[in-house]
């Protein structure tokens, strides 16, 4: 599953968490390590650039955090990030530079690369969103299977046992997710792909594709 490999999904220079991925092949391998990584990285951040709040929250001084937003650590909020009204950050969250976490959006155990946008009523849990990935209004990651079994990543030919009970979605660089979509546990979307609004996705979507519905994925045409 080449699409699912870190090197084919993400531009690691576009995250403060680059070292988190060292030694890993697939991105979901780092999900259990996010919290401890934040504590390690946070202690090295410049006091001139980041304000430490409490024991385990670091917020860039150039970030715009609404007074009604709630942030539970461990968390790092990057430079020029925007945390809007009533955003809920539950912990183990890295929000990249210039990223937007919007009204009533909830984050939990996530890495948002630089310039990610989750701006309206999104739930993003146990997920990694690549550079400039965007989730439309009301789109969510579902991070636990209804039968509570361990998540398996599947494409048309292969499957990979992840060993994880909680696994939302891995979105590559510049992925666009349409409004109202559900990304089911184990979803992986390759870079520069689009997901139609109101989709229910539960598979690997190749890079440079348009996901229209289950069983109907078109390759993007070059223009």
What residues make up the domain containing 40? 2-219
What pLDDT shows up at residue 51?
97
Q: Which residue has the higher pLDDT, 222 or 128?
A: 128
pLDDT confidence band for 156 (50 / 70 / 90): confident
Beta strand segments in 130-179, E: 134-135, 140-141, 152-154, 159-161, 169-171, 176-177
pLDDT in tens, 158-195: 999 999 999 999 999 999 999 999 999 999 999 999 99
Q: What is the pTM of this model?
A: 0.96
What pLDDT shows up at residue 157?
86
What pLDDT shows up at residue 169?
98
Q: Residue 26 sits in a domain of what CATH number?
A: 2.160.10.10
Write down the H helix ranges in 18-83.
34-42
HEC-encoded secondary structure of 181-218? CEECCCEEECCCCEECCCCEECCEECCCEEEEECCEEE
What pLDDT shows up at residue 215?
87
What pLDDT shows up at residue 223?
60
**Domain count along the chain:** 1
């Amino acid at each position: 599953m080449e699409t699912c490999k870190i090197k084919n999904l993400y531009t690691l220079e576009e995250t403060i968490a680059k070292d988190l991925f060292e030694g890993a092949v697939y991105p979901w391998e780092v999900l259990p390590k996010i919290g401890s990584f934040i504590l390690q990285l946070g202690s090295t951040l410049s006091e001139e650039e980041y304000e430490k709040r409490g024991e385990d929250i670091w917020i860039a001084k150039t970030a715009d955090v609404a007074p009604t937003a709630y942030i539970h650590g461990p968390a790092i909020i990057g430079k020029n990030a925007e945390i809007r009204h009533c955003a809920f950050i539950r912990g183990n969250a890295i929000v990249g530079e210039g990223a937007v976490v919007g009204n009533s959006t909830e984050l939990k155990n996530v890495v948002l690369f630089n310039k990610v946008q989750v701006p309206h009523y999104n739930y993003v849990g146990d997920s990694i969103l690549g550079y400039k990935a965007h989730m439309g209004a009301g789109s969510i990651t579902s991070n636990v299977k209804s039968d509570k079994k361990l998540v398996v990543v599947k494409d048309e030919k292969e499957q990979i046992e992840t060993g994880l009970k909680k696994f939302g979605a891995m979105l590559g660089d510049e992925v666009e997710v349409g409004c109202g979509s559900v990304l089911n546990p184990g979803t992986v979307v390759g870079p520069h792909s689009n997901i139609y609004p109101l989709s229910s996705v539960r598979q690997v979507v190749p890079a440079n594709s348009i996901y229209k519905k289950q069983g109907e994925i078109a390759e993007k045409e070059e223009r």
